[in-house]
Amino acid sequence: MHLTARFSEALVFAASLHRHQIRKGPGGTPYLGHLLTVAGIVLEYGGTEDEAIAALLHDAVEDQGGPPTREAIRRIFGEHVAAIVDGCSDTDESPKPPWQFRKDRYIAHLRTATRSVVLVSCADKLANARSVLKDLREMGDTVWSIFHCTREQSLWYYREVVRALHETAVPESLLEELDRTVTEIEALSGVVTSR
């Protein structure tokens, strides 16, 4: 598959939306690095151009403008991309609902989400889990202080996402990689969730 000018346009659009956003954790990494990683994982696992574009934009509605951003994505990149982005967003509300409520709702949604949504979502969770694992190795348990939830809540969430994705059409090898990464985070954290 060859990427078209639409992907380049999405990259520029994502960069403009997230240009001032920095990743949690040490180093002050530009958020765009995460978006590129997620898009790369989607492409590695056979994603379409629309899915790769949605990967670049998967946090845009949630983090950069809510419904008006969703409408811009729909207008510029089409209904399919907008639907994938919607499916990967746990809220467009401001202020955001409580963390546990959002995560419970998102996990339930994953079980019935489209193949495109679960592909992008799994790629996003893998990219996040890899970052957590890297930071955990470098920082130890202090890594958990950068999140809006406890270590136990974070590990619960990752494990529940893995469980939910087992019920979907996500590529098996991608899910296995996420599962291995989460298992390693659990082992380094000394917290074992029941599998």
Q: Is 63 known to be catalytic? A: yes
DSSP string, 70-135: HHHHHHHH-HHHHHHHHHH-S---SSPPPHHHHHHHHHHHHTT--HHHHHHHHHHHHHHHHHHHHH
Using an 8 Å Cβ cutoff, are 38 and 45 in contact? no
Phi and psi angles of residue 96, each rounded to the nearest 5 degrees, phi first: -70, 145
Catalytic, out of 49, 51, 62, 179: 62
Q: Is 51 known to be catalytic? A: no
CA–CA–CA angle 145, 134, 188 (5° rounding):
75
Catalytic, out of 63, 86, 92, 160: 63
In one-letter notation, the amino acid at residue 121 is S
Catalytic residue positions?
62-63
